[in-house]
């Protein structure tokens, strides 16, 4: 049996590679061989010691160490039992050894209130809930040495209650690592379906401002261009990232270190006949940017918040302005499960419309994982990939 080189996060800023047993195949489960895995924003938060997640909800918890990280994966099914081959695919496709897959990070119980009433989202609050690559894979639980729940490792365990997604043949291997991220942009679909007031949501010919040009921000640039958004404006402090945003379809970029807030607000209004943007998307993970983002919006504008997954502090908001402009603020956490297949199909449809592989700017072998995570936090990269098998 091949050795399993496992990435184990012992604490903030400390990931080690350990030899551990090959995972045990569980009834209704599978074993994945992980080929590539992206460094997610949550991985960076944990590495920095920002370990509180889902604050203010029944799921609020603090990351416990040690844990296995990594969930933006391109993987191959190494083993799968008969039950798992029929139940693990969210799209009800039969799965087999050798299939190329990615997965939803959240393991659901299938029976709690949220699993029954909002099964299209991974809002599970049941006892069987788990999260791959986060808190050791099982919230408030323990696992055996042959249960590996992070994709920075060579082999990992897939438990019953998980959702695998078979990759289309046309989708390159690397883009599997982008599927989960692009599924986060399902928040745009939410905006499109929001029409309580006239001019609500994301109308055809809209102007969108995206705050932050990192991996999540760039994914929203791609999705906005796919959806036919007329004007895309991106803000960031990194010229490297702003240049990349232009290559993926941003019409205008604003460097927040060389411009003033008033000038940025005036610029947005100058490109919208003095009205303001239809939609603003926060992708920085920095609470201080929210108040400025709300200033970009027109009356009945929509502010989308998919960027602050960890507890990093409060935002200062003048709620009178939210009221007086009839603004709508929409939070987005976890993944909309129906978005995975739609996302992969949309990516295949647009394979020739974006320089997709430029999204992945750097690769590191597994034994350089600390350097990789540190580098992913700099201004000189976009998505950083870990190669467990290099």
pLDDT of residue 211: 98
67 pairs with which residues across the strands? 9
pLDDT of residue 139: 42
What pLDDT does residue 142 have?
A: 59
User: Contact at 8 Å (CB) between 167 and 180?
Assistant: no
Output the pLDDT for position 308: 81
Q: Are 19 and 26 in contact (CB under 8 A)?
A: no
Distance CA 321, CA 311 (A): 25
**Given this model, what pLDDT does residue 1 score?**
60
**In sequence order, which residues have a C-beta less than 8 Å from that of residue 384 and are 6 or more positions away?**
38, 39, 360, 361, 362, 363, 364, 372, 373, 375, 376
pLDDT at residue number 161:
87
Which of these, 320, 280, 307, lies nearest to 296 by C-alpha position? 280
For position 126, what pLDDT does the model report? 86
CA–CA gap between residue 240 and residue 148 (Å, rounded): 36
In this prediction the pTM is 0.92
**pLDDT value of position 199:** 63
For the chain, which ranges sit under pLDDT 70?
1, 135-144, 194-201
Place of tokens 């049996």: 1
The distance of Cα 280 from the centroid of its chain, to the nearest Å, equals 18
CA distance 333 to 340: 15
């Amino acid at each position: 049996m091949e050795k399993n080189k496992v990435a184990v996060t012992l604490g903030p800023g400390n990931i080690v590679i350990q030899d551990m047993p090959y995972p045990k195949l569980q009834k209704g489960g599978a074993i994945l061989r992980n080929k590539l895995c992206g460094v997610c924003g949550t991985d960076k938060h944990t590495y920095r010691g920002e370990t509180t997640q889902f604050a203010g909800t029944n799921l609020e918890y603090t990351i416990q160490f040690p844990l296995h990280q990594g969930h933006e994966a391109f993987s191959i099914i190494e083993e799968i039992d008969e039950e798992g081959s029929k139940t693990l695919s969210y799209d009800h496709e039969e799965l087999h050894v050798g299939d190329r897959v990615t997965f939803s990070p959240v393991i659901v119980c299938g029976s709690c209130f949220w699993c029954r009433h909002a099964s299209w989202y991974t809002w599970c609050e049941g006892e069987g809930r788990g999260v791959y690559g986060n808190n050791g894979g099982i919230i408030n639980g323990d696992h055996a040495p042959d249960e590996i729940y992070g994709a920075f490792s060579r082999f990992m365990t897939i438990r019953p209650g998980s959702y695998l997604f078979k990759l289309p043949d046309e989708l390159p291997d690397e883009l599997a690592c982008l599927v989960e991220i692009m599924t986060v942009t399902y928040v745009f679909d939410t905006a499109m379906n929001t029409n309580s007031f006239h001019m609500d949501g994301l109308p055809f010919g809209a102007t969108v401002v995206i705050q932050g040009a990192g991996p999540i921000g760039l994914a929203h640039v791609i999705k906005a261009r796919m959806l036919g958004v007329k004007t895309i404006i991106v803000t960031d402090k990194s010229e490297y990232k702003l240049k990349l945003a232009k290559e993926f379809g941003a019409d205008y970029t604003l460097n927040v270190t060389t411009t003033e807030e008033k000038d940025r607000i005036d610029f947005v209004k100058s490109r919208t006949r003095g009205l303001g943007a239809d939609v603003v998307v926060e992708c920085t993970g920095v609470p201080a940017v929210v108040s400025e983002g709300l200033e970009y919006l027109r009356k009945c504008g929509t502010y989308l918040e998919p960027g602050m997954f960890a507890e990093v502090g409060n935002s200062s908001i003048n709620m009178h302005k939210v009221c007086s402009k009839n603004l709508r603020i929409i939070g987005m956490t976890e993944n909309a499960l129906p978005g995975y297949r739609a996302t992969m199909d949309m990516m295949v449809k647009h394979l020739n419309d974006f320089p997709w592989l430029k999204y992945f700017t750097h690769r590191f072998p597994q034994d350089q994982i600390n350097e990789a995570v540190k580098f992913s936090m700099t201004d000189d990269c976009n998505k950083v990939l870990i190669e467990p098998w290099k």
